[in-house]
Amino acid sequence: MANGGMANIEHVVVVALENRSFDNMVGWLYSARGNQPPINLPPLTPGSTPTYEGLKQGLSNPGPIGQAPVTVQYGASGPKPGDGAWWLVPKPDPQEQFDHMLLQLFQYENPGPEDLPTMLGFVQDYATVSDAPSSIMQCFTPVQVPVISALAQNYAICDRWFASVPCQTWPNRAFLHAGTSCGRVNNCDGTDDNCVPNPAHYDTRTIFNVLDDVGESWRVYNDSVLMSLTRLQFFTHLGDPRFEPNFRLFGQFLSDAKAGTLPAYSFVEPSFVVQPNDQHPPRDVRAGEQFLCQVWKGVSTGRAWDKTLLVITYDEHGGCYDHIPPPNTAVPPDDSAPQQPFDFRRYGVRVPTVLISPYIEPGTVFRSGVPNVEYDHTSILATLRDWKGLKQPGMLTSARVAAAPTLHRVLTRDTPREDMPDIPSLPVSVAQPESATVAPDVPLNSMQRAVISGSIARHRGAAVDDAIIRREINELKTHGDALRYLQEVL
């Protein structure tokens, strides 16, 4: 049962990368055109010039106390002056806990519900972890990230797609899969990342359970030997052994795409730990570009290309700079008790979201067009709902999903395009060994620790209890520690 522009689609593929803001990745996308793309959906007014809410010269943030303001930079040049490693910006990892995001947005903690974000706290907050805080204002050019840039320019990008909540990975991925974070605004219970997220907090049905109940096919493809993050996070509802065939490795995704046998809904995870290509700062952004290129090639050369919609998004901004204030008009998903005082009415910071299909006109920039209604991760769930005619009582009960705009309006063509855009086969100047290697002294983030601990626990089964796993994972401080441990255990 199809809806609107989705009538020709038989396969939806969603890829969610990590911790990059809209401005950080695609803020300069249309700067050479004066931020005037070919097409706006919906048009602003009849005959109006299309717009793109991208970066422009002169935007700035106050510097650390006693220092001059820092202007946004056209292109990344490196974490520190003169080091040249532009692909590692920002390094070190910016702060991404709920309280730090409030500082980035408002410059102070505990904003009132009517307070407006100034988006002026990024440099000052980054100064808490970096001795070169101005680097948070470095934003990649289309030449530096050519894959996502070419896909956006040849298909469609939303310049007002907000993370579902101004906080970390697990809560935002929960909105992506379930339409709610069950009240969570941080990965962990504590205020730092020296902990392991608890899947028990996410005892709720997912879109995968909904699809399974009505006999619609789905799979989660994972580019890692470790457990799927999706399955780990929602193990209560996705851990049943009968779901084993639904969780497959990335190589199987490429095979299924080539054969035209992808399920109705595919969710594709990058690698978060072993040769990470998720683009989580300070990972090499080029490795993520290679991963996107593989996904694109797999889908676009497959037998079902003319029946496929590919969606690329990011879970949250991860502390990276963005200049558009997230509105306070979001619909709270449910009455879950909040982890910290928060009413779930404020969206998170903008993230890049690109739609790719032969039914999309090139150069499209889309947004909701409805006052006080924005695209966020629950728009994917709302699209799947309408596309497959998923109704209550079986559909997710999230009020955010019920209010979310769908994607069908972006697929405006009745017939598929016959052209095949020239998307770079590999990013420019990539040295494969370097891009696939992470310095052993790079600290693990809480999401990586969770994936490792969950994978170890499930691998060992009843042979060891959770207390031992938590003790062991807390001894792993760096990426080198984790890889050595995984080699011994797995």
pLDDT over 90 at 438, yes or no:
no
* Alpha-carbon gap, residue 354 to 280, rounded angstroms: 18
Q: Tell me the average pLDDT of the chain.
A: 91
Asked whether the beta carbons of 103 and 109 are under 8 A apart, the reply is yes
pLDDT band for position 463 (cuts 50, 70, 90):
low
Say yes or no: 333 and 453 in one domain: no
Any domain includes 109: no
pLDDT over 50 at 435, yes or no:
no
Say yes or no: 396 and 474 in one domain: no
Structure tokens at 151: 């896909």
Any domain includes 96: no
Question: Over the stretch 330-371, which tens digit does the pLDDT of each residue have?
Answer: 999 999 999 999 999 999 999 999 999 999 999 999 999 999
pLDDT of residue 113: 79
* Strand-strand pairing, 308-314 and 353-356: antiparallel
pLDDT of residue 222: 96
Say yes or no: 462 and 335 in one domain: no
pLDDT of residue 263: 98
pLDDT of residue 434: 45
Structure tokens at 67: 């220092």
Q: Which domain holds residue 472?
A: 446-489
pLDDT of residue 433: 40
DSSP one-letter string for 107-174 = SSSS--TTPPP----HHHHHTTT-S-GGGGGEE--TTTSHHHHHHHHHSEEESSBB-SSSS-HHHHHH
Q: Which run of H or E residues covers position 299?
A: helix 285-300
* Alpha-carbon gap, residue 473 to 37, rounded angstroms: 48
Say yes or no: 346 and 470 in one domain: no
Question: Over the stretch 259-285, which tens digit does the pLDDT of each residue have?
Answer: 999 999 999 999 999 889 999 999 999
Any domain includes 369: yes
- Domain limit, last residue, from 410, 435, 460: 435
Asked whether the beta carbons of 233 and 174 are under 8 A apart, the reply is yes
Any domain includes 13: yes
pLDDT band for position 443 (cuts 50, 70, 90):
confident
pLDDT over 90 at 448, yes or no:
no
Residue 398 DSSP label: -
Any domain includes 62: no
Say yes or no: 306 and 375 in one domain: yes
Question: Over the stretch 13-32, which tens digit does the pLDDT of each residue have?
Answer: 999 999 999 999 999 999 99
Question: Over the stretch 177-230, which tens digit does the pLDDT of each residue have?
Answer: 999 999 999 998 865 666 778 888 999 999 999 999 999 999 999 998 888 999
Residue 359, classed as helix, strand or coil, is coil
Residue 392 DSSP label: T
Asked whether the beta carbons of 316 and 172 are under 8 A apart, the reply is yes
Instruction: Give, in order, the Cα–Cα distances in Å from 60 to each of 120, 134, 370, 414.
Output: 8, 10, 29, 43
* Alpha-carbon gap, residue 207 to 217, rounded angstroms: 11
pLDDT of residue 428: 52
Question: Over the stretch 384-430, which tens digit does the pLDDT of each residue have?
Answer: 999 999 999 999 999 999 999 999 999 999 999 999 999 987 765 55
**What percent of the chain has a predicted confidence (pLDDT) above 90?**
78
- Domain limit, last residue, from 392, 409, 435: 435
| CA pseudo-torsion sign 482, 483, 489, 490 | positive
Say yes or no: 277 and 348 in one domain: yes
Say yes or no: 390 and 478 in one domain: no
Say yes or no: 165 and 208 in one domain: yes
Say yes or no: 214 and 342 in one domain: yes
Tally of structural domains, the chain: 2
Asked whether the beta carbons of 199 and 232 are under 8 A apart, the reply is yes
* Alpha-carbon gap, residue 265 to 258, rounded angstroms: 16
Say yes or no: 419 and 459 in one domain: no
pLDDT over 60 at 431, yes or no:
no
Say yes or no: 392 and 454 in one domain: no
The most distant pair of C-alpha atoms in the chain lies apart, rounded to whole Å, by: 68
* Alpha-carbon gap, residue 465 to 477, rounded angstroms: 21
User: Of 147, 415, 158, which is closest to residue 307 (Cα–Cα)?
Assistant: 415
Alpha helices in 155-261 (DSSP H): 169-178, 207-213, 229-233, 235-238, 250-259
Residue 308, classed as helix, strand or coil, is strand
Any domain includes 103: no
Say yes or no: 377 and 460 in one domain: no
Query: Which CATH number covers residue 216?
Result: 3.40.720.10
Instruction: Give, in order, the Cα–Cα distances in Å from 425 to each of 148, 288, 340.
Output: 12, 13, 45
Any domain includes 68: no
Instruction: Give, in order, the Cα–Cα distances in Å from 161 to each of 53, 179, 280.
Output: 11, 15, 19
| CA pseudo-torsion sign 76, 80, 82, 86 | negative
Any domain includes 57: no
